[in-house]
Amino acid sequence: MSIGATMAGVDVRFAVEADPHAAATYRFNHPDVIVFQDDIRRLKDFSHLRFDDEVVVFGGPPCQGFSTSNQRTRSASNPNNWLFREFLRVVSEIGPDWVVFENVRGILETEHAFFVNLIKKCLENLGYTLSYTVLNAVDFGVPQRRLRLFVIGSRQGVQVPFPAPTCKKPVSVMEAIGDLPDLENGAAVDLMDYKSEPVSDYAYRMRGNKKIATNHLVTHNASYVVKRYSHIPPGGNWEDIPSRLMKNYADKSRCHTGIYRRLKLKEPSVVIGNYRKNMLVHPTQDRGLSVREAARLQSFPDWFRFMGSIGFQQQQVGNAVPPMLAEAVFRSVIDVSRGVKTRVAA
């Protein structure tokens, strides 16, 4: 979200990140931002924060418990599902002009929308006028069909209209990653030359003037897993794998549709999520996606580097809000903010 906010014109000053690997990534890519690397429940002192303009507090409290692919913990009994209260506490302490809250669409379905309704009620009690909707990242130039809920709060008493789709023709997987180097199963070379010139306007935007690409890390799969890949056509999944190669599954019929899903070159990607649960397959090569390929499908620019081991890098990419989607949301907030200032000045 910080990349999208920055691209829209927000001056990001302070961030909270408990995970040490994600915090290292954040510091590397946002060297001027103060990072509180700890549990947000320990964040008590805001006296060092100084603002000379309108303030926005934004974030996405842990969402795994709300995900539709995580049925076991989609309930009020999951303590992580209550961490949104800490987000609200920070909002109440700082009293920002604007609030942007993001989460998975599944929060609308968890406990009959109990959590999202409570969040809305709490923000309204703090004096915020709300607007909220579910947006699909593919409508904003992201080469991935990814639905996310956004709640925007304004202390100026105005509702922020959400951005209209900006992308008439979806960006395909080929347009997103076609210039990245070919890789082998278990590839572990961080820095590599691009395979070709940018294959699309999207790839050009992601690359900028970079000559060397980074984060070309691929999970090393056992030979029997690679053999499974060879049976999966574009758009196919575990159902295309012969039963004789799936004997380690006690009941393979319980596999969800995202397992062993091979992406289609000429269509946007399905949701980039937990690597180990989804096991997405490269559209033409018998391997999983590299960290950089997944980052491209999330709309991370190539200058953004991920820190930590491959597993932690994969987790960071899968958990992220697509920067280009976040940018569209923050541009709407800024446009309304400018309109409020203009009316006040008049």
Residue 246 Cα distances to 145, 219, 332, angstroms: 28, 19, 48
Residue from 140, 152, 191 nearest 298 by CA: 140
> 256 with 69: CB under 8 angstroms?
yes
Q: Which residue(s) pair with 102 in the sheet?
A: 150
Collapsed DSSP state (helix, strand, coil) of residue 15 = strand
Q: Which residue(s) pair with 296 in the sheet?
A: none
Q: How far apart are the first and last CA of the chain?
A: 33
Helix (H) or strand (E) segment spanning residue 101: strand 98-104
C-beta atoms surrounding 266 within 10 Å: 11
The Cα 98–Cα 272 span in angstroms is 29
Helix (H) or strand (E) segment spanning residue 150: strand 147-154
63 is catalytic: yes
Tokens 């056509």 found at: 233
Q: Which residue(s) pair with 302 in the sheet?
A: none
Residue from 87, 122, 152 nearest 337 by CA: 152
Amino acid identity, position 279: M
DSSP state, residue 157? S
Q: Please, what is the Cα angle at 256 between 252 and 257, to 5 degrees? A: 110
Residue from 3, 102, 25 nearest 312 by CA: 25
Amino acid identity, position 74: R
Phi, psi of 103 (to 5 degrees): -165, 175
Catalytic residue among 63, 122, 167, 255: 63
Q: Which residue(s) pair with 104 in the sheet?
A: 148
DSSP 19-40: -HHHHHHHHHH-TTSEEE-S-G
Q: Indicate which residues carry an active-site annotation.
A: 63
